[in-house]
Amino acid sequence: MSMSLTEPTTDADPRRWLALGLIAIAQLMVVLDASIVNIALPSAQRSLGISDANRQWVITAYALAFGGLLLLGGRIADFIGRKRAFVIGLVGFGVASAIGGIAQNQGELFAARGLQGAFAALMAPAALSLITITFTEPRERAKAFAVYGGISGGGAALGLILGGVLTEYASWRWTLLVNTPIAIATAVGGFLVVRESRAEGKPHYDIPGVITSTLGLVALVYGFTKANESGWSAGSTVTLLIAAVVLLAAFMVIESRTAEPLLPPRVFSERNRAGAFLVSLLIGLALFGMFLFLVYYLQGTLRYSAVKSGLAFLPFSAGIVVAAAAASNLLPRIGPRPLMAGGTAAAAVGMALFTQIGLHASYASHVLPAEIVMSLGMGFAFVALSSTALIGVDARDAGVASALVNTTQQVGGSLGTALLNTIAATATAHYLTDHGPRAAATGVVHGYTVAFTWGLGALILATVLSIVLVSKQRQAAAPGSSDTSSTTEPTAFEQAEVLDGIR
């Protein structure tokens, strides 16, 4: 489907740099919210009495909603207007953050996190689309994307520090509440400053596809959670897993038959792109799981404060920045396969080092080396992934293909967090059965290392897929990168820059 963008004027917007500042603040909140809550999770779990089986929902509810609704959010923003979607997304995100901040039980917190993810899925595509529309001069647009990419990269590290400071000196609740006044103020500014633009034509939304895919993923995650509580052979677990398979199969059938699919099957027909999406899914599984258990290891086992544990993750952020910058220069010369395969292999080595942590290990001897090696590998892999996702794709599918890199990483992360949390809890329970309750502390760390081992397996598989599926040839730049005539083009900018922004 081909549609044109309706722009208010071809003249440069005199308030375009102020608009960029507002858009950058919105993106900062989206990026911050992923890392800031990780550091606060142990405190939130104690405060609300969340079980070990259910703690992963604080992360997976946000990731599932964000990743699962991102494609629909971009389509909605195109048709209702990017400015309108941006403002609605900001207000909704702020309200959802407030609900989470005052939550009195785990159900309210999980629901609030899901709402945050849903509104972020509307806000994020609109934000980058607005940059594409607002900055029409190539040099200015490049500067705007550089600012946006820097915010995307630095936001994660800032979230780790801010999450620690707020949790330690105020309350874990402020890691959510802090979003509300900022989001509302930014929404007001966006309403007053940002220009509107929308796609022409009759809107088409693949609602059956959204429903079946989202419910299927939720059933799968909930099935993993029930396996932790009741066992893999329990009727509730089996029922949920069967429902997940049926719903996801229905989603694939719907996508193959609908005229305007949410996820066109043709996007997966090219081997390189299919490999990139699978590797992204596996990286998300390993990366999200690593963050979850390392936070608990630092705070629970090594007795780090929230601030200290946030600072302990900074070398990981720095490693990604350094490696991604180097990869950007290497990619045109050597192609994506060496970067993707080498990056995932290095990440696997880092994860292997994490499996060696123990009750009396130290940060300097065990955690820091693993962080550095894994982060360098992730930085190389991320750049290759975001590039490969757009190689040879039709202009009409550019937005979907690029968005899928982020979507698969979020979905992989939500599934991996739930699955690895169940695996860790089961391993700890078996350890305590064999060694008695006096070995509780050692048993908990044993559960972490078992989860890290499964994450290692995912990264090894990602390395194999990178070698087998991704071409070794150098690739040309993705087509249509500067064309603003496609409905999905702004979303392509958005997702590529979100990933590449960690450079």
- Mean pLDDT for 222-236 is 88
Segment 261-300, tens digit of pLDDT: 888 888 888 888 889 999 999 999 999 999 999 999 999 9
Distance of alpha carbon 133 from alpha carbon 141, whole angstroms? 9
Distance of alpha carbon 433 from alpha carbon 165, whole angstroms? 38
Please name the fold of domain 1-204: Growth Hormone; Chain: A; (1.20.1250)
Give the homologous superfamily in CATH for domain 267-503: MFS general substrate transporter like domains (1.20.1250.20)
Q: Which has more confidence, 200 or 18?
A: 18
- Name the pLDDT band for 385 (thresholds 50, 70, 90): confident
pLDDT at 429: 93
The token pair that represents 4 in the structure block: 């044109």
Whole-number CA gyration radius for the chain: 22
- The full set of domain ranges for the chain reads 1-204, 206-259, 267-503
- Mean pLDDT for 16-26 is 88
Residue with token string 């070990």: 52
H-helix segments, 202-335: 207-230, 235-257, 271-296, 306-312, 314-334
pLDDT at 127: 83
**φ, ψ for residue 486 (rounded to 5)?**
-90, 145
- Return the minimum-mean-pLDDT range out of 20-24, 113-117, 169-173, 405-409: 405-409
- With a CB cutoff of 8 Å and minimum separation 6, the contacts of 399 are 74, 486, 487, 488, 489, 490, 491, 492, 495
Mean per-residue pLDDT of the chain: 85
The token pair that represents 9 in the structure block: 């004027």
Please report how the helices 398-435 and 57-80 are oriented relative to each other, as an axis angle in degrees rounded to 10: 170
φ/ψ bin of 81: left (φ > 0), alpha (ψ from -120 to 50), beta (otherwise): left
Q: Which has more confidence, 203 or 384?
A: 384
- Mean pLDDT for 380-401 is 75
- Mean pLDDT for 308-327 is 90
